[in-house]
Amino acid sequence: MMSHNERMKITINHKQFERIIDYSQIKKRIRLIGIQLNLAYENQHPIFIGVLNGCFMVMADLMKQIHIASEISFIKLSSYEGTARRDRVSELIGLDHNLEGRDVIVVEDIVDTGHSLKHTLDAIYAQNPASVAVCTLLLKPNALQHTFDNIAYVGFEIDNEFVVGYGLDYQGLGRTLPDIYREIPPGP
């Protein structure tokens, strides 16, 4: 259940969220990242790999800015269900391209702890690509538990807060919001 009010706050399943990044800012950042990618990969033929479910909005807007020869694929991570630790990732679903010798650009909606990104990269590196760069709309530098030297394109760095919108969800809701909202902690 979702509801809006006038001050750009929303409620999803009894949690309050406030807007922190609006869609016009997101579009500007993605346009700039697209320009950078077009230049960096001008004479290559990269494959963009989107990590579902969250990346679908970023991927759609980003690919509208890409004017070089490229391919697109999507993967999904399935986490172990029923365990207390949700940071254990079981497998990558849908990696159906041969990545050997390819320039790969991984597209994420958000990198927080980095557990799922590390799992994704391990699976990609196992195929011996020529290069791997990570493009993420949101990065939580204070939440990272892994070190990455290839997060090359970042839309926005945010604090270690829970966010929804623009592909990100809370209990399945909020993914279709065009803006990004952060959770407002409950009052005392």
CB 8 within 8 A of CB 166: no
Q: Map the chain to HEC letters.
A: CEEECCCCEEEECCEEEEEEECHHHHHHHHHHHHHHHHHHCCCCCCEEEEEECCCHHHHHHHHCCCCCCCEEEEEEEEECCCCCCCCCEEEEECCCCCCCCCEEEEEEEEECCCHHHHHHHHHHHCCCCCEEEEEEEEECHHHCCCCCCCEEEEEEECCCCCEEECCECECCECCCCCCEEEECCCCC
Catalytic hit among 112, 122, 149, 179: 112
Residue 112 is among the residues annotated as catalytic for this protein = yes
CB 24 within 8 A of CB 178: no
**Residues annotated catalytic, as ranges:** 112
